[in-house]
Structure 1
């Protein structure tokens, strides 16, 4: 009999996972405790921008003309328990207010709501990023509170989605990691992921703690790589070197690789910053805090980049106060191909410059609505051209393709001064300088 799958939590991770499971041929029931979100998904609409996700939902949501009908949504835990063989937990694990640790309340609440309804054999699979040791505790809770007892099993299967590529990463993952305690759990997960495994995705079977550590250690490594090249940009700035050429040269070493070696204003978003902080906090609880003290420096290099961009802007405006100056900001999201502005370096810089007296106008292809909600006092424009009109300096802070394809000549006619600061080292300095602009980026020669 074909497996039936449920997905608990239909935010960014859950909505993508539910649609992808339906695409892989499973009957899927998604659950959320926010009725508005469920109503939206039932119409085949997503509450966030993610390339390809809305189309995938439209292909499978029941009630949409021409869809497979394999995907439905509910707010009822009893319905989910009765329907599914495998239940994926995809709820949020944000940073706790006022501390580094991870807030597990959503995961715990989801499990507490599901467990009493599990009367027969079931596999609950955690996908959320959690502190190591959580799965052990949650497995014990599940066995104690589910009527099925030990037949209600837990497994841990971390997600490795990149925003902007979430659909591809779910359907064609670069690896599948499962933390399991029984052959039955492994067999069920092999069945769930049979298609990507047959296409060559590696399937790594581990214990609980290792599965929990994979995601946080991967994110810590990426954060380290980004902060490393940003630290090199600081040195290049002091020594008159060129960090872009430096990155190119060391990137040819296949032990290092080219990816994530573009210096700029650093990382943000809802994952990397909170994950490395939660990792440090958990290591401290385990008595292994010495092992991760380097992550504190990684975090501090990253946050320092934002302040340096503000100072670079001040220098570009003559070194005095920002009062009365007009600053255009291209980019509001923490990365391109997303509408996510959580802990966005671009918005943080825009906000700091604005607080110091400048008139700031922001444009972003997809993040305007979210940015407005978070920073209502900034100015917003409907296009890059409108944003730069009358600007004394232009800041390029999110590397959208649209910004790389801008015509420096056309933009130059709209600004007061042709000065551009490339906070992502993503524009072509020659093209901008040729059009009469002063181009400046961290760790790059001025001419």
Structure 2
């Protein structure tokens, strides 16, 4: 008799392992990073009640230190946690190393559960060989966050920002003349989002379905051209994301828009610009683009000492509706679980966004994002392309020349 998705999600969280394979009673070690670690902390009481034989032990390091440490323990095979949290940016790198369990294989057999998650997020957690090495815990539907008060002072409407990419830049000129605020913190942000324009299911940003290098095509040309137009017009602050100046720009009201995952609204509320409550709004990305910004995943290392408990923990964090909604409330992490998207919380007004029911927009975006696979050389290609763009906007290098060299370098570095 066919098994329904509801039955699968309601199944016991523990693995059915042979008695000889049952791990010894021991704490469940989860290695994570801020703010994702707050989701595990929020779920700890429920986990410990249900699994007294494996109380949760959370090890949290800052973002960079965590991923560096996880790379080291996978390389050495010693000191591995039971569960490893990963940011999307590192999935391609970790997928190529062979140090993570394939959750599609026995004894996990996660395949029947995947229909409960957005297809694009599942695709992001796969290796080039098709193994599912990381399970999505939260997702980042892309949005344009903007300061309504600044827009109104410039005599502009939301549609002036979102209608088209040239229109977005022209609106930036008007915003700057009327308010003195920059359109965005860094022209590189525009480059990065434009590299996602026109992607089809199964096509990566830098590499095609067959692994061919895409760097230098018309999509890259257009992204570089518009990014350069922003820099030449003086519409950005030359402040890269997550730096001190970037954060100060929000607090000081010197930037009018920011394109990023919807989770940025939570960061604005909680620490970047709490005093600006009610001034920000969320809108679709310009030109009708739908995209994903980041996302968090859980993986099980090959040499994890307590794999049964690790899989039970991942099942709770990803497939338990209450836990997913708890993550939304605690740290504004947008749920990966589709069943959580029907909760009334999605229709609630968000005070920080002036009472806007923005989660409805984010849900719609999440359901339309194309499935873009990660590649083991994405990080390398990203670094090369970013360097080429910097040569263009800072050194005046011609775009065709910079892209041709970037393409050649990606080919050379990835085919050694």
On whether the aligned pair clears a TM of 0.5, the verdict is no
> Which protein is bigger by CA-based radius of gyration?
1
The answer to which structure, 1 or 2, has the higher relative contact order (CA under 8 A, 6+ apart) is 2
TM-score of the aligned structures, taking structure 1 as reference length: 0.28
More helix by share: 2
